[in-house]
Structure formats: structure tokens, C-alpha cells
Amino acid sequence: MPVITNIEDLRVLAEKRVPRMFYDYADSGSWTEGTYRANESDFHKIKLRQRVAVNMENRTTATKMVGIDTKMPVCIAPVGLTGMQHADGEMHAAMAAKKFGIPFTLSTMSICSIEDIAAHTQAPFWFQLYMMRDRDAMARMIDRCKAANVSALVLTLDLQVIGQRHKDLKNGLTAPPRPTLANIINLMTKPRWCLGMAGTKRRTFGNLVGHVKAVTDMNSLASWTNEQFDPTLNWDDVAWVKKQWGGKLILKGIMDVEDAKLAVASGADAIVVSNHGGRQLDGAPSSIEALPAIVAAVGSQIEVWMDGGIRSGQDVLKAWALGAKGTMIGRAMVYGLGAMGEAGVTKALQIIHKELDVTMAFCGHTNIQNVNTGILLPGTYPQA
């Protein structure tokens, strides 16, 4: 086993162990992947101010996200097909998050179901909802969340139409994979993954198959989802979800100040500055570049979080310094899961927390609540 020191080490190991179509599904963006790359590279441009001769004892990175205690301003983002990175992947990620002390978010397009997660972790978790045309199905899904003790709903707003992701098209992405010659040859090089998948019955979209009318298998699911993503989604639908749900509501996919103001007016509890990991509108700015203007516009009225490009605890600290009261990590978690299962997710969280804690100390702070743009070198970070 190689020595794991950072998220990149986990990525390299995951690439070796996860079948090509599922690794590429997670580690790619739309079209040219320019926004996908900028999400990560724009963090590197931001420089930190090192301070010395400051008492660095008794440090804390603890905070709250929508009133929920968290060990650091990080939660696990919703990632579709997580259960194809590793057998029962969503359950393993949820258990690792609970033990570490951060929230976990389950995707609508997960392999493990809402009920699977509820049965395998005692911690309340969050659920990410995609708006479908079938409102009855949406209402039933929200009711299932209530029954499962879901503590917050994350409504993703930026998937009314699906961005074109070239690697998925070239790989012929399906869950489970179709038995083509190329897929069979690739799977033969992933014995650990195949053994895990042989030991679980969870190989399709657990939140949809058997729960939605006319969806009984992968073939009927594919035709249903192609018809169901709702291009008519608007703020009236957000109000409908809020009324149906009645609990904490987080709106994900905000990249524009005007949309942020509309999100505040909708009565949401938090917004996530997010370009869907660079998987939707290629050519959009990076999330970290969009963050300061949105914080300046609405940060005093609503919790502003961000996701996209976070690969280290330093990235978390930079986002916090620029006003994000929370961050979401998707790929960093997926790399850990694909590399080593639940232990890999735990390792990813430990790496990010250690980097966050040590960097905060070098910047002269012992409590993350006191960190602001003062830790950043002027002229190196995006302005509102």
C-alpha cells in the first residue's frame, strides 16, 4: 500500500482501482473542461500571509452549517453513482462522515437508497433533490426523506438540462456497465472492484427503481430520466418544494448575484455557489471566483457555501476567508472511496482537516471563526 499524504495520492489510487467509465464520470467536466480545471487552479492563485510568534495552542475548526454542528466547515456533496465507485459507496461515505463529525448529502441519482442510508447510520443526513416533471414522484420522495429523518434538503437548480460530458459519451456510461468487449477487458483489470460488486445487490439507482411509476429496471429508468429532468423549473417550483418539505432548505447551483437575491427572497436557509463541478456550463467562472460578489450581496442575509475544486484544507480555509460559511467536497470524497472504501473517505477527511488546521495556525489563528480576508495576500484573491 502506498503512503497516502494528500488527496492527489487518493486520486491516483482510485484511478487504478475503479473501472474507467465510473472514474471518468467523477473526474471530468463538460465540453472543453475549462471550468472544471479552473475550479481547482483558481485556488492556487490565492496566496496566504504567514504569521509568526503567535500562540498556536488550542485550535478549533468547529462551526455550524444550517444550525448543525460540524467539525470543520465541510460537508460531503451529493455525487451521483457513488455506489459505482465502490460497492455500497454511499453507505460507506455516510458512515465515515458520521464518525468524523461532518454532514453527508445523498444524491437523487445515488445507487444506495434513502432507506439504505437511514438504516446504516444513526446521524441525520441531507438529501439532494433533482426537480422532475413528475410532481407526484417528487412529493413521495420528499415524504420518504421525512420518514428517514433527513435533516436538510438540498435542491439542485442547475440541471434543468444536462451538460454534454464527452468522456461519458465515449465510455458508453451505464449503471451497471454494459457487457461490451471494451468494458469486460477494463473490468478484468479491476478485481477488487468486481469482488465488491459481486457481494452487493445494490447496482442500480436505488432512489428511483421501484419507487417511480413505470421504472422497473435500468432500461425504463434511462427513458424516464431523459423525459423527466424539468427545463421549466422556476422559482414557483422552489416555493412548492419548500412548502412540501417544511424543513431546512439549501439551494445549490447559484453562480450569479441576481439569482442569489432571488434565493434569499425564496426563504431558503443556505445557498451553494456551485457550477456543478464544471459539469454543466463550460465557460462559466470558477466557484471561488464567483464567491466574493455573492457573499457581498447576500452574505449578511443567508448562509453562503461553495463547492467546486476543493482538494485540500488550504482550499477550505481560502473559501472561508472569502466569506463561505461552509464548503462541499465531492471528488475528494470519491477519490478516497474509490481508493480504499470507507477507510479512504475517512483518510480524505483527515487530510483536509489536518491541512486546514495547520494552515490556519501558520496564518496566525487558533479559531476559524476569527479568520477573514486578513489571512490572504492582497492582490491575489478575487474581489466582490
The whole-angstrom separation of Cα 315 and Cα 306 is 11
DSSP state letter for 188: T
Q: What is the SS3 assignment for 126? A: strand
What type of residue is 317? L
The whole-angstrom separation of Cα 137 and Cα 224 is 12
Instruction: Please confirm, yes or no, whether 276 is among the known catalytic residues.
Output: yes
The whole-angstrom separation of Cα 181 and Cα 56 is 57
The whole-angstrom separation of Cα 307 and Cα 179 is 35
Q: For residue 366, with 0-12 CB atoms within 10 Å meaning exposed, 13-18 middle and 19 or more buried, which class applies?
A: middle
Q: What is the SS3 assignment for 34? A: helix
Considering 86, 92, 166, 276, which one is annotated as catalytic?
276
Report which of 108, 104, 112, 109 is spatially closest to residue 86, judged by C-alpha positions.
Answer: 112
By the 8 A CB rule, do 58 and 202 touch? no
Indicate if the alpha-carbon torsion angle 259, 284, 231, 24 is positive or negative: negative
- C-alpha separations of 76 from 13, 41, 165, 288 in Å: 20, 21, 23, 18
Q: Please, what is the Cα angle at 125 between 95 and 38, to 5 degrees?
A: 85
For the annotated catalytic residues, the residue numbers are 276
